[in-house]
Amino acid sequence: MQFKKTPALLGAVAMAAALAFTAPVGAQTAPAAGAALPAPVIGVLDVQKILQESSAAKGIQGAVETQRDTYQKEISSLEEKLRTAEAELRKQQTVLAPDAFAAKRRDFEKQVADVQRTVQARKRALDTALNEAMGQVQKSMYQIMMDIAGNRGINVVLPKQSVLIFEPKLDLTEEVLGKLNETLPKVAVSIPKQ
């Protein structure tokens, strides 16, 4: 039973954030009936790059990986104890009465179920901590993007992954990444005690 790394989770988080950024920046206010819509002023943002390369995101990944390694060592130790218990149970199968053996087998199965619950609880704790911490990064990234867009008069920001061709001057990624690293250099990862 191993914990799996979560690049798919980061990809899903990035895609959700990217979809959120496809709405016009000023979308909260609808134009009056009959009023002309403003001409689109477009910016492009590489959400995945920011969520992977920002100082805060790297720190979050490091903290989660460290805790994952700790959990993996704990789980490996529990699995080794289960293998030993299973071998002992097999040895006792021929010498124990059927009722006694059945009781020991039930105890062993309960131990296996307990380890499986522990693995799932650790995985949920890591996933929750990762999502909460990355949520803080996304919130800050979004606010910085909104500020930059407002200052430049940009009313539409598109995810870079959705744009085939664009003028490099439209790319807000490096500016947003730089400001994010300044304003949110790290995020505390809160992993609940198990």
- Six-digit token pair at 121? 């609880």
Statement: residue 82 has pLDDT above 80: yes
User: What's the CA gap between 44 and 97, in Å, rounded?
Assistant: 73
Helix (H, G, I), strand (E, B) or coil at 12: helix
Confidence of residue 35 (pLDDT cuts 50, 70, 90): confident
Statement: residue 25 has pLDDT above 50: no
User: What's the CA gap between 51 and 13, in Å, rounded?
Assistant: 9
User: What's the CA gap between 168 and 29, in Å, rounded?
Assistant: 29
Confidence of residue 85 (pLDDT cuts 50, 70, 90): very high
pLDDT, one tens digit per residue, over 104-116 is 999 999 999 999 9
Statement: residue 119 has pLDDT above 50: yes
Model pTM score: 0.72
